[in-house]
């Protein structure tokens, strides 16, 4: 089945230690998104790629970076995680073929100790 | 700008009760409307959707009708089960019938707990 995969499902990192979360997709969608979600609140869009074009949300902290080496993969890098960065991180994809409906991965739960 | 307002939660029901979660929206044009469900510890799953006025989305016994005159997309289920306990998010996509790329706007989410 075509899908959005996130690894790992659970990640523990130390305060200030860089961490990378990964997302891959088999849908061949050209748009990929990263969201941050805290305790059953609505997901908050951090940034997205439209093909290779990176689009940062105005209020996304500089501590958060992203890379998209190819269509299938997208990474979220947190350069110096703080306690406030503990959250669920959701990856999603979309394309014109699917009317830009967003398909979500299972998420990565990040704990900062 | 676009916005989505959901009824305040949490909602607690007994099994087999009728469920309504209200959702109203503000948007220009003709957005697509979605209900997502999030089970504990999981990502978001699309529950149902509607892309134009008067469309009814349905899945797993849940239904919602796109009402442009009242700008609403209320979620209903006739008989809830314990396994329906989750967080429900209403969302809109300002994509003009699927041809225009836009960002999802979410409601604040409604926590549903169903007791046996």
Residues of A in contact with B45 (CB under 8 A): 104
Strands A31-37, A53-56: pairing is unpaired
**pLDDT tens by residue, A59-96:** 999 999 999 999 999 999 999 999 999 999 999 999 88
**pLDDT tens by residue, A18-45:** 999 999 999 999 999 999 999 879 999 9
Phi, psi of B35 (to 5 degrees): -120, 125
Q: What pLDDT was estimated at residue A101?
A: 87
What value does the mean pLDDT take over residues B80-87?
97
On the question of pLDDT at B89 being above 90, the answer is yes
Whether the CB of A89 is below 8 Å from some CB of chain B: the reply is: no
Taking the CA of residue B110 and the nearest CA in chain A, the distance in Å comes to: 9
Across chain B, where does the E strand assignment appear? 3-6, 11-14, 19-21, 23-26, 32-38, 45-50, 56-59, 62-65, 75-77, 86-93, 105-106, 110-115
A40, B99: Cβ pair inside 8 Å? no
Q: If you measure CA to CA, which chain A residue comes closest to B36?
A: A104
On the question of pLDDT at B95 being above 80, the answer is no
User: A55 is written with which tokens?
Assistant: 């689009």
Taking the CA of residue B114 and the nearest CA in chain A, the distance in Å comes to: 17
Q: Cβ distance B16 to B30 under 8 Å?
A: no
Residue B93 is nearest to which of A48, A100, A106, comparing CB atoms?
A100
**pLDDT tens by residue, B30-43:** 899 999 999 988 88
B46, A101: Cβ pair inside 8 Å? yes
B103, A41: Cβ pair inside 8 Å? no
Q: Write the CA distances from A7 to A10, A84, B2, B42, integer angstroms.
A: 8, 21, 32, 13
């Amino acid at each position: 089945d075509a899908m959005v995969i996130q690894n790992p499902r659970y990640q523990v990192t130390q305060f200030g230690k860089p961490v990378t979360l990964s997302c891959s997709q088999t849908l061949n969608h050209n748009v990929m998104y990263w969201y941050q979600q805290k305790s059953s609140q609505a997901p908050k869009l951090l940034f997205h790629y439209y093909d290779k074009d990176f689009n940062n949300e105005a209020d996304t902290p500089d501590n958060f970076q992203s890379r998209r080496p190819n269509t299938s993969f997208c990474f979220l890098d947190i350069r110096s995680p703080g306690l406030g960065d503990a959250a669920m991180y959701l990856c999603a994809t979309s394309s014109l073929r699917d009317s830009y409906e967003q398909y979500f991965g299972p998420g990565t739960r990040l704990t900062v100790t | 700008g676009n916005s989505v307002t959901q009824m305040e939660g949490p909602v607690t029901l007994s099994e087999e009760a009728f469920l309504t979660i209200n959702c109203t929206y503000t948007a220009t044009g003709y957005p697509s409307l979605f209900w997502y469900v999030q089970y504990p510890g999981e990502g978001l799953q699309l529950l149902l959707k509607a892309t134009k006025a008067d469309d009814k989305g349905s899945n797993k016994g849940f239904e919602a009708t796109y009402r442009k005159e009242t700008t609403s997309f209320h979620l209903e289920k006739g008989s809830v089960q314990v396994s329906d306990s989750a967080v429900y998010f209403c969302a809109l996509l300002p994509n003009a019938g699927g041809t225009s790329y836009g960002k999802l706007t979410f409601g604040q989410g409604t926590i549903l707990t169903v007791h046996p």
